[in-house]
Amino acid sequence: KGENDSNNSGEQLDFVSSALNDSNQTEKKEVSFEDVREEIRLRIIEEDRLDAERDAKELAREASLQFLDQINSLRDQLNSKYSNFIQRRNSNELKSLIAESGGVAREISFTQNDMNVQTAILGIERRESERRNNREPLQEVFALNERLFFTRSSRTVRDGYAVFVLDRKTKEEAGTFEKASFADLYREYSNSLRNDAFNDWSEQTYNGLLQDESNQTLLKRGSHISIDAKSLSALQSSFESQNQRLKARLGKLESERGEISKAERESNATATQVARKVVLDQLIDDLRIEQDESNENRTLSVQLAEACPNLKIGSGWSELERTEDLATFVKLSDVYSLKATEVEKADVTTRVSEIERARAESARDLILENLLQGAL
C-alpha cells in the first residue's frame, strides 16, 4: 500500500508538471511571404492613395491661386476694354482664362434662403471667422457685384478648391405685401437695418480717417493692410515666398501625421504618437487658417497696388469700393522713384583717365610678357 501511495503521488506530480510544461512551451509558427502578400499589397495601395490625395490637393490649391492671380490681373483690362458687365463676363479673354485654367467649370444657382443647402451640396469648408460670426460661406458669393465679380480668395470645397465668378443676378419679381410671409418681411427689414447701420458705420470710419489718418482705433475696425513694394511683381513674389514657406511647414506636419496614421493602421502606434497626432491636427488647422488669411491679404494687397497709380501723395484716405458688407479705403503714403545720377565734369574726366591708365598698364604687361617669352 505504501508503494501504491508513492506511485500515485508520483503520477500526480508528473501530471501537474506535464501541464505546466505544456502551458509554458512556445509554439513556433512559420509565416511565409505568400501568407502576408495580400495584406502588404493592401497597405501599399492605401499609402499610395493617401500620398496621391495629398499631392492632388496641393496641386489643386496652387492652380486655384494661379487662376485667382490671373483673373485679378485681367480685371482692369476688361474694365478698360468693355463698357458693361455683360460684355466683360462674356468676353473671349475671360472665357479663355476659365477654359485654360485646368479646373472644372460648374454653374450654381441659389437664393439667400437656401445658402446653407448649397453650402452642404458643395461641401464648402467654413473659415474660423465665419464660425465665430455664424456667417454662411456663400454670403461672400452673394455679395459679388458687377465691379467685384469674383471672390477674393479660393475656398476649400469637397472636390478641391473653388473660385466663384459671378455670372448674373436675377431680379426678384415684385410681390405684394398681402402675400409676403412674416419671415420674408422680417428678413428684408433686418437686412435693411443692417445695410443702413453698415453704411453709417463706414461713413463714420471714413470721416474719422479724413480727420486723423493714423487713428489706430479706426484702423482696428477692419483689416489694415500696409504694403511697401517697388512693383506689383515684387509684391506677388513676396507673397509667393510666404506661401512656399507655409506649404513647406504644412507638408512637414502632414508627413509626420501620415507616419503616425501608418503606425495606427499597423497597430504599432504608441500613446505618445497618438497624443502627438492630436497636436498635429491642431497645428495643421492653424496653418491652413494662416494660409487663408495670407491669400486674403494677398488679394487685398494686389488690389491696393493696382490702385496706387490713381492715388496722389498727401490726398489722404479715399474710398476704393463698397459692397453690401465690405468697404475698402486706400491711401498712398510714399512713392519710389529712380533719378539719374548727377556727376561733376571733373569726376567724369578723372574716371576716364583711370580707365585709360588701367588699359595702358594691361597692354604694357602683355607686351613685356611676349618679349620675355620670345627671349627665352
The per-residue pLDDT for 376 is: 60
Which residues in the chain come in under a pLDDT of 70?
A: 1-29, 31, 33, 172-177, 179, 336-343, 375-376
Nearest CA to 77 out of 90, 53, 94, 54 is that of 94
Are 46 and 89 members of one domain? yes
pLDDT tens digits for range 92-108: 999 888 888 888 888 88
Asked whether residue 299 falls in the same domain as residue 360, the answer is: no
In a domain, 120, yes or no: yes
Question: 3-class DSSP state for residue 213?
Answer: coil
Euclidean distance between CA atoms 125 and 155, whole angstroms: 7
Is 158 part of a structural domain of the chain? yes
Give yes or no: residues 275 and 362 share one domain. Answer: no
Do 331 and 353 sit in the same domain of this protein?
no
Helices 33-81 and 232-265 cross at an angle (nearest 10°) of: 160
Burial of 139 (0-12, 13-18, 19+ CB in 10 A): middle
pLDDT value for 21: 47
Does any domain span residue 182?
no
Residue 131 lies in a domain: yes
Same domain, 320 and 247: yes
**Angle at alpha carbon of residue 152, lines to 149 and 157, rounded to 5°:** 100
Q: Answer whether residue 77 is part of any domain.
A: yes
The pLDDT assigned to 41 comes to 80
Q: Are residues 243 and 355 in the same domain?
A: no
- Yes or no: say if 85 and 146 are a contact pair by the CB < 8 Å rule: yes
* Shared domain check, 349 and 251: no
User: What pLDDT was estimated at residue 20?
Assistant: 44
Q: At 193, list the grid cell.
A: 437695418
Q: How many folded domains does the chain comprise? A: 3
**Residue 294: inside a domain:** yes
Residue 231 resides in a domain: yes
DSSP character at residue 6 = H
| Cα 327 to Cα 199: distance, rounded to the nearest angstrom | 9
Domain that holds residue 293: 223-338
Within-domain flag for 23 = no
Pull the grid cell for residue 69. 492671380
Same domain for 165 and 56, yes or no, is: yes
pTM of the model: 0.44
Give the pLDDT score at 11: 43
Examine the domain organization and report whether 308 and 348 are in the same domain: no
Q: What pLDDT score does 172 carry?
A: 63
Angle CA(79)–CA(299)–CA(235) in degrees, nearest 5? 100
